[in-house]
Structure 1
Amino acid sequence: MGLQASIDIHFAQEYSPKELIPLLIASGWAIDFEKKVSYLLSSDIDDYDWQDSSIKDFNINQFLNTHKSMDRIGIAMVAKESGGNLLIYPNYLLLSLSINRRYLSEIDRIPDFSWYIKRLANLLNNIKVSKIQCDAYY
């Protein structure tokens, strides 16, 4: 098994996941990677069966409209070609660092968590956060 790295952000209050996606997009995060979008259907409760669509066939507004205000949203997002699968719940966000992971040093294979947090700063400045946790499992 390889390295698993993630960032968990716990909110101090509940937010609609549907409202957080536009904040991420406005701060430079994109839903397309290599002309594809990877996402969870709103009907996918516990299977985590990620779907892939061509970016030209995917409409972010239609996707968000299939979710209720407080539904969990799963979508892959990238900032400057690095990112991963994002799960947003009303009280926390989980970013799995799985797309072109950034490292402090390629030799040590230590994820550069600060690189990701800097790109999440716009979101973090617009919500109340109770905890940020960065994990790497080797």
Structure 2
Amino acid sequence: MDKREVAKAYITHLGNGNVEEVLALFNADGMVDSPLYGIKRADEFYLELNSDTANSELSLLGIFEEGDSEDIALYFRYKWTLKSNKIVEFDVVDIIGFDDQNKIAKLKIIYDTVVARKLVAEL
């Protein structure tokens, strides 16, 4: 898969809650930097996110690349239903850094956590 295909697969698998398929897109040392969960290994992050999640709906709004950069930015709308059945919606930018095998080496998540932080703290 090329970088754009990996990015689209990431959105699909994340929306479906398929942690195994999401993790298959990462390399063995893949890391996630989240404003809500901190910096974690990808497997730790997605297992924690999955345990807090009842449902996810993602709407891809754009994929942005810079020439020969190894990074892609995904812009999407995230409707997140937590285990408490409370729902929070927000726009997200994920910056994906790839290795030379088009595996995700690092993923930085950017979004406003004001509402989400409060709801996750209540879990």
| TM-score when normalising by structure 1 | 0.28
| TM-score when normalising by structure 2 | 0.30
Q: Determine which structure has more spread, i.e. the larger CA radius of gyration.
A: 1
Higher relative contact order (CA 8 A, sep 6+): 1
Q: Identify the structure with the greater helix proportion.
A: 2
Q: Identify the structure with the greater strand proportion.
A: 2
